[in-house]
Amino acid sequence: MTPVTLPRPGAEGSSATAAAREPDVLCVDLVRIFSAAGVEVQALQGLNLRVDPGELVAVVGASGSGKSTLLTILSGLDTPTAGSARVAGHDLLSMGARERVAYRRRTVGFVWQQTQRNLLPYLTAAENLALAMEVARTRRGAERARRTSELLDLLAVGDIADRRPSELSGGQQQRVAIAVALANEPRVLLADEPTGELDEATSAEVLEAMRSVNEELGVTTLIVTHDPTVSEHVRRTVQIRDGRTSTEVLRSTRTDEHGQEHAIAEEFAVLDRVGRLQLPTEFVAALELRDRVRLGLEPDRIEVRPGQDRTPSTAAEAEDADRSGPEPGADSPDAGGDGDGDSDDATGIAPREEDR
Amino acid sequence: MSAHRSRLSGTALSFRRFAAAPGPSILLAMLVLVAAFTATAVPRLIATLHTDSLRQQLAGPAPAALDPTAAFVETPAFGDSAGASTLPSDVGAVWGAQEAAALAARDALPSPLRDVLGAPLALTVFDPASALPATAAAGGTTYSPQVAVDPRLHEHVELVEGDWPAAFDGSLPPSDGDDPLEIVLAAPVAEAMAWQPGETRMLAYDDAPGADVPTRLSGTVAPLDADDGFWSHALNGLEPSIKQIGNAPPDITGLAFVDPASWTPFRTVERIAAQTQVWFPVELDEIRAADSPELIAQLSTFASTAVVLGPGGWIELDPLTVDGVERWSGSAAVADRVGFTSDLRTELETAVAEAAAVDAVLAALVSGPAGVAVAVLVLAARVVFERRRPGLELEAARGASTGRLRTTLAGEALAVSVPAALLGGAAGMLVATGDAGAGGWIVAAIFALVPAALLAGQAGALSPLRRQRSDLGAGGAGRFRWIGEVLVVALAAVALGLLLQRGLSTAAAATGIDPLLAAVPLLLALAACVLVLRLYPLPLRSLVARLRRSRGLVSFVGAARALRDPAAGLVPVLAVVVGVAVATFSSVLLATVETGTSTAAAARIGADLRVSGLPFTTEQLDGFAAVDGVAATAPVYASRTAPLAVDGHKESVTVLVVDVAELEAVQAGRPDALELPAALTESGSAIPVLASSSVAADIAAEPDPELDGRPVEVVGSRETPTPFSDRDAWVLVDRSQADGLVPTLVPRAVVVRLEPGADPDAVAAAVQEIAGVDAIVQTPGMLEAELAERPVGAGLAFALTAAIVVSSLLTALAIVLTLIVGRPGRAALLPLLTTLGLGRRGERALVAWEIGPMTIVAAVAGIGVGVLLPFAVLAGIDLTAFTGGDVQPAIIVDPLLVVAVAGGALAVAALAVAIAGGVGDRQDAARAMRKETEG
């Protein structure tokens, strides 16, 4: 029997090296409940997420899936109700006020969707960076000026350092925001819909900027978005549904025999620590799965069959459906271990291939 | 697109933050400035008002009545002062000892009494002597100069003619060949005595026959300052006194000043009675109203303290020898301990009582606006906070500690409010000159620190995550709100009850501000706020229900917002309630005092016009009646004091003799007319009289009341004093019944009824011409103007007007600030409504709806409080200090004024809406929409 392991897709490097280092972001069974006026809303319902140092991950989900809640928790602005969340050695649940201040100053940097939340309108780009350093009390004087121009140059906005946000294009605003987020050398960069207000071309530009920052500075980066095209720019995309991570898409490039480069995306279901996984809705609908299912352990997979007694006619259809495609839940654990090397038809739920 | 110069230092960033939206901070600074200005200026203005009023009070009586004076008949102590006095050396050698003793007595007094008393003065005046010219015919005018010694004669008069009196070193009576005694007279006195400079007359004393002193008038003098208080002590020093009794020839008296250094030879032979006064001139300019209570206590102690002015004992006098026969010998007592008396204390007490009334009214006026000022300051601090909020929340998200946020907010507040408070406080000091201590600065300091404290306190509310609504008062924890409201209403009720139970209190000369009196207006206003906040949803609810069915979008949305998401918390409601209440209260008080002054003036005149002060001849009386515009005249034929035998002792009662028919004609139809019973004119065994209530009460207990030995019968009584006498105890008798009660009928006062439409001033001028310049002609209008011009009257009118203006401004400011605070909510709504087709007018209407219902209900409540307040507060304040009348004036609620105040409040609110609407919503929908999504 194949051992069931944590869904830790090794986007890069081997699982062995990743396990040796503590992840920069580790959420286990994270729960956040908002209660107001007698109504309780479970925004996060036991979310699991692991991001290793230097990784670039996109968290994708529909509106209300809980992704923004996750980000506010990770940025230290909100506290989870239950579960555990650790970011770069800080336990977000037990963090005191003093530690929280230090955490916001040096551990995380963030970029929100609205410029207003990233930049002060009455300060120039450079001054916005300076303010971040002033708040964190990191650099002063010439050092501060040096760091400011360095970062602005890195984000290719050095020439507009003396402009105010209102005088910048949307893409420039977000790049300045990224620079501000990086001002105090955070270990983790969080971005909430950084491209939400941008057109497609500019979005791509900003995402590329984030990828290059991730590569050049090695800062662990987590981008939360509802925009599925973001996943085209990152190696690993985690899908959140109903407050839980449901599936992941891993992306790699492969050079075929003709020297053509192909981007390969594989989608995995996520299995949590205690073995729970979410079956994709269309799978459940196709087999009319409800209430109970039958599981069967095969040497290389697990079978999930409808639990209710079926009429012969529907049973036959179900049988067809059963055979027609591989069962994703059974495949994903395997994929977690060696996703990089798997072939297209072996493991993907909906393998796609595009030219880059 | 312009490039800016980036400045990266922390200070530069702070400045950028301030410069980004300086408006709210500048507003805050202005508020602090005005508050600090008021805090330092108002107490000083009030102190000035009290001092002015006190000086006016003290200007009434003659200085001699106020100066603490010791008068004694003993011989003053003589001798050198040993350098303690400032007298010239020759005079000092004689009068120095007494002056030094008086100086020492003054220096031993505690401050502030010591500081308001000038250097001691002295004057010794002998009994009159006869000084007839050699040619005088018997039975003619007699001249009776009084020899007077003024140690500082040269400081008080200057020579007009002739020389200063030479030193007298002869003996009395002078031997042959001795120089005569030399005197100077004031020029009018010399003229009245027909005494030419150089002329020598014999000074003869009745009780020292044969000791006649040849006396030469060496010169005439004129006062250096006729208004100097000295002359009120030196009676007849400047002007002769002409006495005429019956048909006897007139007797002319005046002071004859001798050389002060020549006193010694004169007094050792003196056997003429002389009275010496030693006094400390009160320096009125040094008296501050604030010191009055202390001065009263010190004067009281001083009055009961004996002051040592001389060694005491006796001195032998030279025997008087006439023609070789010793006619007289004896000794004279020398002064030792004397007491100083003064009316200053009573005058101060009167002024203090008046000041207490002023303070009480001002306290009742000030507490409300002060409460609103604090409330507006809170609102302004909130506006600053909301303006800084996004930036600070971003800083918080980036790791700014609460301490840093607090420092940032408090720092900005201090940076603007401390200079503003200093500036305002200094300006207040410059504007008003009165000295009111450091209290104002403490208040200014509080105003300077409160914004910083408020802002720093709100730092905890900065949440980088979510915005919470924190409307002051509104919402809140329901239970605490109930407790607070019940507490406020209960406090107001208790305070009101205490105040009403206590009755008139300021007449008892309480000093300082009465906290209860000051608190009641604010408490009542707060209680009204509670009611407004609780009650205004009720009519609104039905309005919303009705509007739901109507077609208008704006009115429905507006009403629903006002009901469900009220922008108005406690602060704007308080501002409107207090503002309107203060304005209403002020207008009621103004009307009450104005009417009261007018009533008091009319009551004191008792007619359309009064002429008094001199005995009038029959021709003059006929002349008054013949003046154009005079309808009737009624002379008061006599006014004399007579003893009333009551209960075994005699009381002195003023007897007024009038002609009942004449007086009735003059006073017909006046509210303050004396009710004259017909029985007054009916002859009987007893004289029928109308008596004042006090006299009537005395007589009622007496079986056979006798007035000056004649039986009287009270046929009527009257509570208040009459315009014809200042005293409470009086009886009024008809002319026909007055035989024997008064010896002669010489009218000294005439009351006049004018024709309808006659010009009082023209008639007054005509009457004055007939009566002569010395007569006093008064109309109620003149008296009213005079009363209104007194510092208290003018001060009150100013304070009330200022209160109306200030509270209106504060109300307007509170409404504008409320609208500014409510702008984000409106900004969220407007784009939505604009896309639904809302026009610019609709936006305005929405702004109006935001505060309209609250303002209307609060204004109504404010008017209610303002109308009720006088009945509660004025019961405790003696308003006669302002009206100059004898009775507490009735409270006048002038409906026109109240309507004007209400209209004014609504106009202020409408203006505020126009301003806020204009400032807030000048942006197109697209931009607003975009801003909304960004926000």
Question: Tell me: the pLDDT tens digits for B412-431?
Answer: 888 888 999 999 888 888 88
Among candidate residues B224, B233, B223, the one with its CA nearest the CA of residue B66: B233
Supply the mean pLDDT for chain A: 76
Q: Does B9 touch chain A (CB under 8 A)?
A: yes
Tens digits of per-residue pLDDT, B289-316? Answer: 888 888 888 888 888 888 888 887 787 7
Q: Are strands B306-308 and B337-339 parallel, antiparallel or unpaired?
A: antiparallel
Answer yes or no: are the C-beta atoms of B880 and B592 closer than 8 Å. no
Which token pair is B93?
């050698």
Residue A96 has pLDDT above 80, yes or no: yes
Answer yes or no: are the C-beta atoms of B162 and B220 closer than 8 Å. yes
Q: Does B539 touch chain A (CB under 8 A)?
A: no
Q: What is the reported pLDDT for B280?
A: 92
Can you give the three-state secondary structure of B617-684, one letter per residue? CHHHHHHHHHCCCEEEEEEEEEEEEEEEEECCEEEEEEEEEECHHHHHHHHCCCCCCCCCCHHHHCCC
Mean pLDDT of all residues in B202-209: 70
CA distance B309 to B76: 8
Which residue among A72, A141, A162 places its CB closest to the CB of B4?
A: A162
DSSP conformational letter for A341: T
Tell me the residue length of chain A. 356
Q: Are strands A236-241 and A56-61 parallel, antiparallel or unpaired?
A: parallel
Answer yes or no: are the C-beta atoms of B464 and B396 closer than 8 Å. yes
**Inter-chain residue contact A116 with B13, CB threshold 8 Å:** no
For the CA atoms of A17, A23, A24, A26, the dihedral, rounded to the nearest 10 degrees, stands at 160
Q: Given CA atoms A10, A12, A15, A18 in this order, what sign does their dihedral have? A: negative
Q: What is the reported pLDDT for B423?
A: 92
**Inter-chain residue contact B399 with A104, CB threshold 8 Å:** yes
Burial of B609 (0-12, 13-18, 19+ CB in 10 A): buried
Tens digits of per-residue pLDDT, B25-53? Answer: 888 888 888 888 888 888 888 888 888 88
**Inter-chain residue contact B398 with A132, CB threshold 8 Å:** yes
Q: How far is A241 from chain B (nearest CA, A)?
A: 23
Amino acid at B530: V
Helix (H, G, I), strand (E, B) or coil at B524: helix
Q: How far is A4 from chain B (nearest CA, A)?
A: 39
Angle at B361 (CA atoms; ends B356, B362), nearest 5 degrees: 95
CA distance B552 to B559: 11
Tens digits of per-residue pLDDT, B221-252? Answer: 999 988 888 888 888 888 888 776 656 778 88
Nearest CA in chain B to A97: B401
Q: What is the reported pLDDT for B373?
A: 84
* ipTM associated with this complex: 0.72
Among candidate residues B776, B768, B721, the one with its CA nearest the CA of residue B748: B776
More confident residue, B605 or B282: B282
Answer yes or no: are the C-beta atoms of A245 and A239 closer than 8 Å. yes
Chain B (580-619) residues lying within 8 Å, Cβ to Cβ, of chain A: none
CA distance A18 to A25: 12
Helix (H, G, I), strand (E, B) or coil at B282: strand
Supply the DSSP string of A153-184, one letter for each residue: HHTT-GGGTT--GGGS-HHHHHHHHHHHHHTT
Long-range contacts of the stretch B221-228 (C-beta < 8 A, 24+):
B221/B157, B221/B158, B221/B159, B221/B160, B221/B184, B221/B185, B221/B186, B221/B187, B221/B257, B222/B157, B222/B158, B222/B160, B222/B186, B222/B187, B223/B156, B223/B157, B223/B158, B223/B186, B224/B155, B224/B156, B224/B157, B224/B158, B225/B156, B228/B156
Interface test with A, best of B2, B4, B7, B8 (most A CBs within 10 A): B8
**Inter-chain residue contact A77 with B464, CB threshold 8 Å:** yes
Mean pLDDT of all residues in A47-72: 84
Supply the mean pLDDT for chain B: 79
For residue A120, the chain B residues in CB contact (below 8 A) are 17, 20, 390-391, 394
Among candidate residues B135, B126, B243, the one with its CA nearest the CA of residue B181: B126
For the CA atoms of B66, B67, B68, B70, the dihedral, rounded to the nearest 10 degrees, stands at -120
**Inter-chain residue contact A162 with B3, CB threshold 8 Å:** yes
Domains of chain A listed by start with CATH number: 15-249 (3.40.50.300), 279-325 (no CATH)
Among candidate residues B398, B935, B464, the one with its CA nearest the CA of residue A129: B398
**Inter-chain residue contact B10 with A110, CB threshold 8 Å:** no
Q: Does B5 touch chain A (CB under 8 A)?
A: yes
CA distance B396 to A110: 13
CB atoms within 10 A of CB B350: 16
Chains A–B, number of C-beta pairs less than 8 Å apart: 90
Residue B264 has pLDDT above 60, yes or no: yes
CB atoms within 10 A of CB B22: 14
For residue B394, the chain A residues in CB contact (below 8 A) are 117-118, 120
Q: How far is A96 from chain B (nearest CA, A)?
A: 12
Residue B265 has pLDDT above 70, yes or no: no
Nearest CA in chain A to B395: A135
Nearest CA in chain B to A183: B398
Q: Does B697 touch chain A (CB under 8 A)?
A: no
**Inter-chain residue contact B934 with A114, CB threshold 8 Å:** yes
For residue A145, the chain B residues in CB contact (below 8 A) are 8
Which token pair is A344?
């297209």
Q: How far is B527 from chain A (nearest CA, A)?
A: 30
Tens digits of per-residue pLDDT, B733-786? Answer: 888 877 777 777 778 888 888 888 888 888 888 888 887 777 788 888 888 888
Answer yes or no: are the C-beta atoms of B319 and B328 closer than 8 Å. yes
Helix (H, G, I), strand (E, B) or coil at B816: helix
CA distance B690 to B732: 5
Q: Does B13 touch chain A (CB under 8 A)?
A: yes
